[in-house]
Structure 1
Amino acid sequence: MNLHPISCEQHDYLEIACLYGYQVKLTLKDQQSIEGKALNIVTADKREFLVIDNDEKLSIELTQLAKMQVLTANAKFSAVIF
């Protein structure tokens, strides 16, 4: 388990994605790829998770993110590398 938190700037991009309900493609550090609508950031057991909806709600630990690409047209940004 990676205990290194993401930067505040990276966290801001996740919050923007949730605020606008962007469709995103997440690439995890294990190279797994997940697509869905960014919903929220939640904290549980002193860890933060991005909640996305891809026909079911999934919680992805923020420390597992490698890249987030925004699939929504005319978004405020296109990608973030973690």
Structure 2
Amino acid sequence: MTKQISCESHDYFEIVCMRHSKIQLTLKDHRSVLGVARDIIRKASSELIVVDSSEGVVEVDLIDVVVLKALNNPIEAHNFEMVF
């Protein structure tokens, strides 16, 4: 069975991708990914967020994200933090 996140959580990922927001992801293994949110894609049975980072394009499984921060975006209301 495919592991999934809640619809509400998914909405936040879609919002940052739609806005091409600057984001920071904190993962279950405590790694951090910093960059610009680009898209959500499906590979096999996983949904991945595509992030343009200083290391290049990074794909992160949504179920591995424990904190999503939208930060340093020009419109203050577009900056937020979600803990999953």
TM normalised by structure 2 equals 0.87
Where in structure 1 do 4 or more consecutive aligned residues deviate above 2 Å?
A: none
**Which blocks of at least 5 consecutive residues in structure 1 are unaligned?**
none
Residue in 1 aligned with 2:3?
4
Residue in 1 aligned with 2:33?
34
Alignment map for 1:52-67 (pairs within 5 Å): 52-55=51-54, 56-67=56-67
**Which blocks of at least 5 consecutive residues in structure 2 are unaligned?**
none
Count of paired positions = 80
Q: Secondary structure at the match of 2:14?
A: helix
Cα separation, partners in 2 of 1:51 and 1:60, compared to 1, 3 Å: same
- For 1:41 and 1:27, locate their aligned partners in 2 and report how far apart those are by CA, in whole Å: 17
Read off the aligned partner of 2:39 and give its amino acid letter: N
User: Which string of whole-angstrom CA distances, capped at 9 and with x for unpartnered residues, describes residues 24-70 of structure 1?
Assistant: 01000011111000000000101100000013111000110000111
- For 2:28 and 2:14, locate their aligned partners in 1 and report how far apart those are by CA, in whole Å: 20
TM normalised by structure 1 equals 0.89
Does 1 or 2 have the higher relative contact order (CA < 8 Å, sep 6+)? 1
Alpha-carbon shift at residue 77 of structure 1 (Å)? 4.8
- For 1:77 and 1:70, locate their aligned partners in 2 and report how far apart those are by CA, in whole Å: 5
Pairwise CA RMSD of aligned residues? 1.3
The percent identity for this pair of structures is: 32
